[in-house]
Amino acid sequence: MATALLKGVIAYPVTPFDPDTGAVDHTALHHLTDRLVTSGSHAVAPLGSTGESAYLSEAEWDAVCGTVLNTVNGRVPTLVGVAHLTTEGTVRRARVAARHGASAIMVLPQVYWKLTEAELARHYAEVAAATDLPIMLYNNPGTSGIDLLPETIVELARKIPNLTMVKESSGDVARFTTLRELSEGTLSVYNGSNPVALDAFRAGAVGWCTAAPCLVPDWTLQLYTAVICGRDERADAILAELLPFLEFIVGHGLPRAIKAGLQLHNRPAGPPRAPLLPLPDKETQQLRDILDRLESSPHLDGELLTATPHMP
């Protein structure tokens, strides 16, 4: 059984932009990243879809990577999303992440043409050979257009020694168990579908990759710690309160929703970058109501926040 490099709540920061110039706001990014660490996230994962990685120039991408990893400064592990349309671009980003001290990299098959299994295998092999960093394969058919089945993922991992982790965002909870069984426990499996967070942990996921800690860090930690402490009824109660929020941010697009929530919390991160538009006023009010209900809920307390990330 492999020992997981990353465990617990893995927080995904947005990339803040200056509302006047449109440039990356590195001061806001520093403060957001630092808050994710100090509020208890077990790892920080910049430059995924939440971080609008696809809309950054290469110079901006490099600078965001540097700001986040320098801010974290080794306090928790870091997982850098290095997806690019080309293998060459993905390799370049992987090497930049390694130079900045990333703990691991995450690779989504971000494509225009649907790749064959041979093309996927070559892509992952070349990225893996570029650094010594552990790799998390990211399966998100909703954004990539490619659904990597457990059998395909396990076969790739057998050929690529540093492919040791899988982020599964299909929403199919059964895949967590299947991936662990087919790999005989050599692959660590992570959930990237917010609404199934609790079911995923119960099916063997060792971590939850989520943007939710940008707005509700205590709630995400409470859910995780309730699970690992065996408090099933408490975990169910927490999820029941948290689920409307999780469904909202997924349903309205993570960059839009998280940035709107940060504005409501007086921690502005600027607008999303075009072609994305800010969350409309009606939906922003809905988000305000959801956040207000969470803030006044009696289900949140500090009882479990000191639990250490592990799985039984």
Q: So which residues are the catalytic ones?
A: 138, 167
Amino acid identity at 120? L
β-bridge partners, 191:
168, 208
Closest CA to 228 of 157, 307, 158, 132: 307
Conformation bin of residue 270: beta by default, left when phi > 0, alpha when psi is -120 to 50: left
H helix or E strand, kind and range, residue 87: helix 87-99
Percent of the chain that is helix, strand, coil (3-state, to 5): 50, 10, 40
Amino acid identity at 111? V
Q: What is d(CA 36, CA 49) in angstroms, rounded to the nearest whole number?
A: 17
Q: What is d(CA 260, CA 279) in angstroms, rounded to the nearest whole number?
A: 6
Q: What is d(CA 17, CA 52) in angstroms, rounded to the nearest whole number?
A: 11
The residue with tokens 């492999």 is: 2
| 114, 145 Cβ separation under 8 angstroms | yes
Pull the structure tokens for residue 120. 């996927």
How large is the C-alpha radius of gyration of the chain?
A: 18
Angle between helices 150-159 and 117-130 (to 10 degrees): 40
